[in-house]
Amino acid sequence: MEQQPKFDVALLGCGNMGAALGRALLAAGYSVTAWNRSPEKSRALEPFGARSAHTADQAVGSARATITCLRTYDDVEKVLGTVDMPDGHTLINVTTGAPSDADRLQRWAETQRVQYLDGAILAFPEQIGTRTCQLLVAGSPEVWEANRELIRAMGGASRHVSGDAKGANVLDLAGVGAFYGVSILGFIEAARYVTACGVPVDELLLVARQLDGILHTAQQQCVESLTTGDFSTDQATIDVYHSGSVTFRETLNDRLGSAPMVEAAAELLARGVDAGLSEQSLYALFKLYDTRDVNKDVAQAG
Domains of the chain in sequence order:
7-175 (3.40.50.720), 198-288 (1.10.1040.10)
Share of the chain above pLDDT 70, in %: 93
Residue 133, pLDDT above cutoff 50: yes
Taking residues 199-217, report their average pLDDT: 96
The per-residue pLDDT for 61 is: 87
Please name which of 114, 61, 60 lies closest in space to residue 88, comparing C-alpha atoms.
114
List alpha helices for the chain, DSSP H.
16-27, 39-43, 56-60, 73-80, 99-112, 141-154, 167-172, 181-196, 201-228, 238-256, 260-274, 294-301
Taking residues 124-132, report their average pLDDT: 97
> How far apart, in whole angstroms, are the C-alpha atoms of residue 4 and residue 7?
9
Residue 295, pLDDT above cutoff 50: no
The pTM (predicted TM-score) of the whole model is: 0.86
Please name which of 130, 12, 20, 146 lies closest in space to residue 76, comparing C-alpha atoms.
12
Residue 5, pLDDT above cutoff 90: no
The per-residue pLDDT for 291 is: 59
Taking residues 241-255, report their average pLDDT: 96
Residue 213, pLDDT above cutoff 70: yes
> How far apart, in whole angstroms, are the C-alpha atoms of residue 199 and residue 275?
38
